[in-house]
Amino acid sequence: SSRFGLRELGRGPLSQLAAPEARRRRQGAMFKNTYQSGFLSILYSIGSKPLQIWDKKVRNGHIKRLTDSDIQSSVLEIMGTNVSTTYVTCPADPSKTLGIKLPFLVMIIKNLKKYFTFEVTVLDDKEVRRRFRASNYQSTTRVKPFICTMPMRLDEGWNQIQFNLSDFTRRAYGTNYIETLRVQLHANCRIRRIY
């Protein structure tokens, strides 16, 4: 399991600094009309096209499917010399959003003992888009009006990262989580599933 260092997170006047975004039409939400209960898988490495709804960006690295020796199963590997230039992002269309109302994000990720970061964009009840970025190379939590960056400690081997988006939104911004808009995974890791 993973632990996020959020000890310093307090409630402050930050939510007042963020100007609400213009009310957007919801037709761009991918899962808006999907019945959402339990979990909604957005990436499964065993599927025939695991990155069908994802966009890929690769510079000085690779994104490929391979068999992981620990679990003897197909996984997706994202590797790059620079974490910011090699990643997958969902949805693939930058004008669309996920529209997932479920407040938990779960990722099954392998620790490759290299720099790794991921990012989740959510919408809160103030109609503000907030980004949460977790990385294994950062030591302190920083809350800014539109982005909260935080450290992440991964155990050796495979990890199940459980991210309570509702709790994080409330603790970082004092607002209520409405929905998940985008998920972005950067080098370096192996992915089994995201839901």
Give the count of alpha carbons within 13 A of 165, CB side only: 27
Q: What is the pTM of this model?
A: 0.80
Residues 6+ apart with CB under 8 A from 35: none
User: Does pLDDT of 1 surpass 80?
Assistant: no
User: Does pLDDT of 104 surpass 80?
Assistant: yes
What does the pLDDT look like over 68-78, one tens digit per residue? 999 999 999 99
Under 8 Å between Cβ of 131 and 61: no
Measured CA angle at 93 (ends 189, 111), to 5 deg: 5
Q: What percent of the chain has pLDDT over 70?
A: 80
Measured CA angle at 53 (ends 30, 115), to 5 deg: 115
Assign residue 22 a region (left: φ > 0; alpha: ψ between -120 and 50; beta: otherwise): beta
Give the count of alpha carbons within 13 A of 164, CB side only: 10
Domains annotated on the chain, with CATH: 3-20+28-194 (2.60.120)
pLDDT of the residue at 64: 97
User: Does pLDDT of 14 surpass 90?
Assistant: no
pLDDT-based confidence at residue 40 (cuts at 50, 70, 90): confident
Mean model confidence pLDDT for the chain: 85
